[in-house]
Amino acid sequence: MRWIFFESAGSDPAEFRDLMQAEGDEFRRLLATRQVDYAELKNALIPTSDGRQVVFLYDWLNDDSWNYAVAMAERYLPHLRADIKTSVFQGDLLGGHMPVSAFDAALVRAHGNSVNWQTQFAVYFSNLRDGDVAAIHVALLAEPRYSGYIDVSIASAIRDYLASTIPALWVLAGRTVLLNHGGDDPFVSDEDPIGFDLPSYGYTVVSLVDSYFVAFLDYKIEARDAQGSAEDRILCLAATSGELVNVETATIVVPSAKLDQYLLREPNKLSLMTSIGLQDVTPDELARVIRDKLAQSYIYDFRFAPDGTPLFAIAAEFEKPDGTMTRRLIALKYDAISSAISLVSMY
């Protein structure tokens, strides 16, 4: 996206929007040639309000398999739900900034043993259900090298570390696996360059050239103050609005009617607002909350309203009255006439 903005579009946001929309159309066409509907991948690519983000750990030291990533996958692949939609990341936990004490405290241990944090291989799944977590955990327990898992659904030093450490592997959409086959042609194929032998587990492989995979299929593990996140927000909004919008300085509007007659009146919405302590919030107060959440988060779920207005969403974390944290999604729109970001809904 950065290259297209500065090079192809000459830093013109309107030209950038047109180019990105054209690339999006071509990408959807390529997926359709493999019977994949991009819209159906939403729950694998966007944080959901109730999905669990979980990382499973495997000790690779003295592993005698030819590829420990494949060896671990052999354990969990047969036990994934047939209609699962999730993004998967994997990689070794390397680097001096690893928060070892946080990892050690949060780990749901597999065998009760101490863990060597210098020799751990991680597999991260987005948006799992409780049953998915249990199924993967039980499947991996048969492997003595399995260390256990950590739920990173809520922001933490662990999730920040993972976001900067492990790369994307696959997008799983039921029995279809979408993956990155590198920078070479063709744009779409059925390659499995790492050699997981995915068809033997009943999966159809759809591989994409890296530029398309990164732009349209790479789930973003959320990290606080992630490098490049501010630029990412600006470019993502420009790709739909054709304008350069800095969410940290843009006008944020919460229509009084939207708040008083919808979010604080409709029973299910009032329950949602009460669950995060916002049942008495004013429009200005909620606008400040939204600005704060926008500055912390990536933005997702880009769409157009019937009148062409760009719509998007953020996944925001709130403290509940009992002190625990929960995730809520905030739907927003960009109004080009007023150059403002306006609240659409919360869910």
Helix ranges restricted to H, the chain: 2-3, 13-32, 42-45, 68-76, 100-106, 130-141, 157-163, 210-216, 229-241, 256-258, 267-275, 283-296
The 8 Å CB, 24+ separation contacts for 99-108 are: 99/157, 99/158, 99/161, 102/156, 102/157, 102/158, 103/150, 103/158, 106/150, 106/151, 106/156, 106/158, 107/57, 107/147, 107/148, 107/149, 107/150, 108/137, 108/148, 108/149, 108/150, 108/151
Closest CA to 313 of 295, 297, 332: 332
pLDDT tens column, 126-143: 999 999 999 999 999 999
The pLDDT score that the predictor gives to residue 268 is 94
Give the residue among 251, 250, 281 at the shortest CA–CA distance from 346.
281
Residue found by looking up tokens 């003595």 in the block? 144
In tens, the pLDDT along 256-281 reads: 999 999 999 999 999 999 999 999 99
Average the pLDDT over 147-166 and give the result.
95
Pairing state between β 340-346 and 251-253: parallel
Q: Where are the domains of the chain?
A: 2-32, 38-216, 229-346
Confidence of residue 313 (pLDDT cuts 50, 70, 90): very high
The mean pLDDT value of the chain amounts to 93
In three-state secondary structure terms, 250 is: coil
Is omega for the bond preceding 186 within 30 degrees of 0, making it cis?
A: yes
| pLDDT at 225 exceeding the cut of 80 | no
Q: What is the pTM of this model?
A: 0.93
pLDDT at residue 202 is higher than 80? yes
